[in-house]
Amino acid sequence: MSMEMVTTLAAQLGFGGLLGFVIGYALKKILKLLLVFIGLFFAFLLYLSYMGFIQINYEKFTSAFENFFKDILTGGLTLPSFLTANIPFIGSFVVGFGLGFKFG
């Protein structure tokens, strides 16, 4: 991406787009790192279970995740009102966020 293209894109999207791009880029990097740590944590738990140090209650674990995903799918988690208060800013923010998340 050339510098001229970046400045044109930033001027068109405005502050919301630029802020969205930065947050999207950073969030993707943080999520990648977080997923690595979660994977290592679960691998460590499975190793401890295999060695006999701990016992994992898989039924309780499964039901907890099923309840969490059921809440998400039924609309239990909604957008906060501050996200819908200023639609033009949020529009450019979402576009910038998507681009930042893609390039991250």
Question: What pLDDT, in 10s, does the model give residues 49-104?
Answer: 999 999 988 899 888 888 888 877 776 666 666 666 666 667 778 888 888 888 88
Query: How many whole angstroms separate alpha carbon 28 and alpha carbon 79?
Result: 20
101: which 2 tokens? Answer: 């998340």
Question: What pLDDT, in 10s, does the model give residues 39-54?
Answer: 999 999 999 999 999 9
Q: What percent of the chain has pLDDT over 70?
A: 79
**pLDDT computed for residue 81 by the predictor:** 65
Q: Give residue limits of the domains in the chain.
A: 18-76+86-103
Q: What percent of the chain has pLDDT over 90?
A: 34
- CA distances for 36 relative to 33, 52, 91, angstroms: 5, 24, 31
79: which 2 tokens? Answer: 């957008």
